[in-house]
Chains A and B, each alone.
Chain A
Amino acid sequence: MDNQPKNRISRKGLTVWRLYGIIETIILALLAIGAGVLTYFLDWPVWLYAVYAGIVVLFAFLFIYLFPKIRWQRWRYEVREQEIELQHGLFIVKRTLVPMVRVQHVDTEQGPILRRYDLAEITISTAATTHTIPALITSEADELRGMISALARVAEDDV
Chain B
Amino acid sequence: MSNVRYKLHPVSAFINFMKSLKELIIPFLVIFGVNIFREGGISAMFNEGWVGLLPLIIGLAVVLMSLVIGIVKWKRFVYWFEDGELRIEYGLFVKKKRYIPFERIQSLNYTEGIFHRPFDLVKVKVETAGSSKAGEAEAELTAIKRADADRIETEMEKAKYPAVPAMGPHEAVTETAEESAAPQKKELKTLYRMSMKELLILATTSGGIGVVISAVGVFLSQFSELIPYEAIYEEVMLFLRFGYLIVALAVFAGLLVAWVISVILTLLANYQFTIQVDDDHIYITRGLLEKKKVSVPFKRIQGIKVSRNPLRELFGYGVVTVESAGGSMGAKDEKIRLFPLVKTADMLPVLRELFPDMEFEPELTKAPKRSVHFYYRLDFIWMLPVIGALGYYFYPYGLLSLLIVPPVIAVGIWQHRTAGYALTGKQLTMEFRGFSKHTFYAWKKRVQAVNVSQTYFQRKRELASIQATIKSGMLGYTARLTYMEKDDASRILEWYQPSPRRIKQKDQPE
Kindly identify which residue among A91, A97, A157, A159 contacts B456, using a CB–CB cutoff of 8 Å: A91
A82 in contact with B499 (CB, 8 Å): yes
Chain A residues positioned under 8 Å from B498 (CB to CB): 82-83, 99-101
B319 → chain A closest CB, angstroms: 22
Within the complex, which residue of A81, A94, A101 is in contact with B452, where a contact is CB–CB below 8 Å? A94
Indicate if A42 sits at the interface (CB-CB under 8 A): no
Within 8 A of A (CB), among B289-331: 300, 302, 325-326
B471 contacts A95, CB within 8 Å? Answer: no
Bound CA span A89–B449, Å:
17
CA distance A80 to B498 in the complex (A): 10
Bound CA span A83–B129, Å: 25
Is B493 touching A129 in the complex (CB atoms < 8 A)? no
Q: Does B472 contact A (CB under 8 A)?
A: yes
The proximity string for B residues 247-272 relative to A, scoring 1 for CB distances below 8 Å and 0 otherwise, is 00000000000000000000000000
| B475 CB contacts on chain A under 8 angstroms | 128
Return the contact of B489 from the options A1, A80, A129 (Cβ within 8 A).
A1
Bound CA–CA A82/B300 (angstroms):
23
Interface contacts (Cβ under 8 Å), in number, total: 86
B: interface residue count bin: 35 or more
CB distance B454 to A128 under 8 Å? no
Interface centre among B476, B486, B487 (most CB of A within 10 A): B476
Given contacts A128-B471, A129-B469, A159-B325, contact A98 B449 (CB under 8 A): yes
Tell whether, in the assembled complex, residue B496 and residue A99 are in contact, meaning their CB atoms are under 8 Å apart.
yes
Of listed B464, B472, B490, B498, residue having the most chain A CB within 10 A: B498
Looking at the assembled complex, report how far the CB atom of A36 sits from the nearest CB atom of chain B, in whole angstroms: 29
* The residue from A94, A95, A96, A128 contacting B470, defined by CB atoms under 8 A apart: A128
With the chains together, A94 CA to B317 CA distance in Å? 36
Q: Is A46 an interface residue (CB 8 A)?
A: no
Q: Does B105 contact A (CB under 8 A)?
A: no
Is B445 in the interface zone, CB < 8 Å from A? yes
Judging by beta carbons under 8 Å apart, are A127 and B489 in contact?
A: no
**A91–B457 CA distance with the chains assembled, in angstroms:** 9
Q: Check if A96 sits within 8 Å of B451, measured CB to CB.
A: yes
Q: How far is the CB of B206 from chain A (nearest CB, A)?
A: 28
- Bound complex: CA A99 to CA B446 (Å): 11
Q: Does B381 contact A (CB under 8 A)?
A: no
Nearest residue, chain A, Cβ from B443: A157
- Are the C-beta atoms of A95 and B451 separated by less than 8 Å? yes
A101 to B49, CA, bound (A): 72
Residue in A80, A92, A97, A131 whose Cβ sees the most chain B Cβ within 10 Å = A97
Tell me the count of chain A residues lying within 8 A, CB to CB, of chain B: 27
- Bound together, the chains give a CA A101 to CA B497 distance in angstroms of 11
A126 an interface residue at 8 Å Cβ cutoff?
yes
Nearest chain B residue, comparing its CB with the CB of A155: B445
CB atoms of A91 and B455 under 8 A apart: yes
Within 8 Å by CB of B451, from A91, A94, A101, A127, lies: A94
Interface residues of B in 438-481 (CB under 8 A from A): 445-446, 448-456, 459, 464, 469-472, 475-477
Q: Which residue of B lies closest to A85 (CB)?
A: B497
Smallest Cβ distance from A7 to chain B, in angstroms? 13
Interface membership of B22, Cβ < 8 A: no
Let me know if A50 is at the binding interface, CB within 8 A. Answer: no
Residues on B with beta carbons closer than 8 Å to the beta carbon of A128? 448-449, 469-472, 475-477
Asked if B493 and A1 sit within 8 Å, CB to CB, the answer is: yes
Q: Select A129's contact among B446, B476, B499, B501, beta carbons within 8 Å.
A: B476
Min CB gap A50→B, angstroms: 25
- Mark out the residues of chain A between 1 and 17 whose CB falls within 8 Å of any chain B CB in the assembled complex: 1-3
Measured between beta carbons, the chain A residues less than 8 angstroms from B497 are 82-83, 97, 99
Proximity bits, B324-345, A CB within 8 Å = 1, else 0: 0110000000000000000000
Residues of B within 8 A of A127 (CB): 325, 448, 471, 476
Tell whether B503 is near chain A: CB-to-CB under 8 Å: yes
In the bound assembly, the distance between CA atoms of A127 and B455 in angstroms comes to 27
The answer to the question of B502 belonging to the interface, with a C-beta cut-off of 8 Å to chain A, is: yes
Cα distance, A82 to B501, chains bound together (Å): 11
Decide if A93 is an interface residue (CB 8 Å cutoff): yes
Which residues of chain A come closer than 8 Å to B302, judged between CB atoms? 159
Q: How far is the CB of B462 from chain A (nearest CB, A)?
A: 10
Instruction: Give the residue name and chain of the B residue nearest to A100 (CB).
Output: B498
Verify B454–A93 contact, CB threshold 8 A: yes
CA of A99 to CA of B476, assembled, Å: 16
Q: How far is the CA of A83 from the CA of B509 in the complex (A)?
A: 13
Task: Contacts A80-B499, A129-B469 known; list 13 others, CB within 8 Å.
Answer: A1-B452, A3-B501, A3-B503, A82-B497, A82-B499, A89-B453, A95-B451, A98-B449, A127-B471, A129-B449, A131-B449, A157-B446, A159-B446
The 3 closest A-B pairs by CB, nearest first: A128-B476, A1-B490, A82-B498
9 contacts between A and B (CB under 8 A): A3-B503, A93-B454, A94-B452, A95-B493, A96-B451, A97-B449, A97-B450, A99-B497, A127-B471
